[in-house]
Structure formats: C-alpha cells, structure tokens
Structure 1
Amino acid sequence: MQKVSPFLWFNGTAEKAIDFYSTVFPGTKIGKIMRASSAGPGPEGQVLTIGFELFGQQFTALNYPSDFRFTEAVSFVVDCKDQAEVDYYWDCLSEGGEPRDCGWVRDKFGVFWQITPTRLIDLMTDPDPNIAARAATAMMTMQKIDIARLEQACAAG
C-alpha cells in the first residue's frame, strides 16, 4: 500500500463510480472491498470502501451517505500525450458531468479532473516568457484543451 493515497467520499455511489472509472481508465485494478458488519455502520453487507488503482495510483472510495461534496479544491490531473487522449478522457469524463474552463471537468459523480496535454505544460513552462504567456492566454479561452490552437497561438508571436 502507498504511504499516502487519496480517499474519496462518495455519497452512496462508490460502486457505480468505480465501475465507471474502470471503463474509462484502461488497466484499472479493483482492490479490497470492505462491507458493513452486523455492528454497522449501515446495513450489514453494504459496501463501505472499495480500493482501486488507476495507472498505479491507489485510491479508496468510501460509500456512505453524507452532506459532503467534492469541490475544485481537489482535482486529479490526467496527463495526455496527444489530442486523441485529450478528446477521449474529456468525452468520457464530461458525459453526464460538466465541462469547465481550462481543461477541467466535473464528472457525473462530482469528482474534478484536469484533462491536460503534456504539450500545454511544455508551452506554459517555455523559457521564452512570450511563448509561455501566449500559451496561458490561449488556454484561458478554452474548455477542452486544443493542442493545435495552442501551437498556433504560440507560433503567432
């Protein structure tokens, strides 16, 4: 087990969320599932937690009703090597959710994701401050990040 890993509180939808993530992220691994005992909490046999792994990152999903909600204060970055990956993850995670600005998506379970092409980071950390500024300016006009538009904006200077 990793020394530190995210623990996500789903309001009774953890099983559905993990099933969904298993279809979106190739190679997802499901780990230990903890169920309520006769002592609780919740009905005996109800799933309480599900361990899962996305690309080697371990997570735990808590499956218990509450008033807690996910916010943008915590999000997960999906590093995408090309536009095809950006399009794939954007389309999958925004379905039933909410596309946001600058490559952010809230999925249908309320979890926030940043669908980020590696090229965006390369351009925004370019040693030439003009290129970095043009990349940032272009990104700020987008919801889903378009690598070709970023490249055009950076070359236009």
Structure 2
Amino acid sequence: MQNQIYPCLWFDGQAKEAADFYCTIFKDSKITTDTPMVVNFEINGKKFMGLNGGPKYKFSPATSFVIECETQEEIDFYWEKLGEGGTYNQCGWLDDQFGVSWQIVPVILNKLMSDPEKSERVVQAFLKMSKFEIQKLIDA
C-alpha cells in the first residue's frame, strides 16, 4: 500500500479564496472538495488541502513551493501572478497575498551551479536579483 502525501495549508478563513487564486494561475488545477472547514484542490495533478484553521499559525519561508521554469516568460508569468498583492523577496523567492512562500527558479540553475568554474559567479549574480533573469545567470 502506498500512502499519499500532500500538504495542508493553514489559512485564517481564506482557504477557498486561496484555492480559487491558485486555480486561476495553474492551468491543470481544480477544486475537488469545498466545505466550510476544508478545501481540497489539485495543482498540476498534485493534491493540496486548505484548512480554515484561524489566526493561530502563519506561513513562513521555512516551507516553500518551488516552481521550475524552462523560460524567462514562465518565470515572469509566475512571478507576476503569484506575487500580486504579496511580497517580492531575493533570489527568486516571493510570498503570495496569503503569505505562502514560493521559489520561482529556472531549470538551468542546477546545471549552472554544478559547474565548478562558474558556480561562484552564478551565486554572486543571483544574490543581486529579486526575480531570476536566466540570461544574466548564463552570462555570469
């Protein structure tokens, strides 16, 4: 038997609003269950639970969702859509309007970081960035 593992996101009464928001951004997404306490939804075929648990707990960057992007256009799209009403941070991180942390990163970053001759220059380049810029990383 394989146990399914999925995240439960604790909201202060905004679980449905958050699920609706995410479903407008990710093409392959849908709400599967909507009750006053719990909203289950899927993003890119992955299950999530939104819990209306109240104000006791808040999100932090200690837990974040990573979106790997092939192109600068994808980075720009997710950066703009998820960051709207939220907070843009350094090195591809943002907090959305609900406080959930996201990392919008280029797929090529792993390859660039594993090149011993280039990795330090890449790190120095992205430390100066808020949103990742693929061409500047490649040129570093």
- TM-score bin, normalised by smaller chain: over 0.9
Give the Cα–Cα distance (whole angstroms) in 1 for the partners of residues 50 and 3 of structure 2.
15
TM-score when normalising by structure 2: 0.94
CA contact (8 A) 2:28 2:45 kept: no
Matched, 1:114 2:115: no
Q: Which amino acid letter does the alignment assign opposite residue 55 of structure 1? A: N
Gaps of 5+ in 1: 36-46
Give the Cα–Cα distance (whole angstroms) in 2 for the partners of residues 104 and 130 of structure 1.
25
Gaps of 5+ in 2: none
* RMSD between aligned residues: 1.3
Give the Cα–Cα distance (whole angstroms) in 1 for the partners of residues 117 and 56 of structure 2.
45
Give the Cα–Cα distance (whole angstroms) in 2 for the partners of residues 2 and 25 of structure 1.
25
Q: Which amino acid letter does the alignment assign opposite residue 15 of structure 2? A: A
- Matched residues, number: 139
Corresponding residue SS for 2:10: strand
Q: Could you tell me how far 1:30 is from its partner in structure 2?
A: 1.3
Matched, 1:50 2:39: yes
Counterpart of 2:9? 8
Counterpart of 1:152? 139
Counterpart of 1:88? 77
TM-score when normalising by structure 1: 0.84
Corresponding residue SS for 1:73: coil
Q: Could you tell me how far 1:18 is from its partner in structure 2?
A: 0.7
Q: Could you tell me how far 1:66 is from its partner in structure 2?
A: 2.3
Matched, 1:140 2:133: no
1:35-46 correspondence to structure 2 within 5 Å: 35=35
Corresponding residue SS for 1:101: coil
CA contact (8 A) 1:70 1:111 kept: yes
Q: Could you tell me how far 1:134 is from its partner in structure 2?
A: 1.3
Query: After TM superposition, which residue ranges in structure 1, 4 or more long, deviate above 4 angstroms?
Result: none
Corresponding residue SS for 2:37: strand
The verdict on how the C-alpha distance between 1:56 and 1:2 changes in structure 2, with shifts beyond 3 A counting, is farther
Corresponding residue SS for 1:59: strand
Tell me whether 50-59 or 70-79 shows the greater mean CA deviation: 50-59
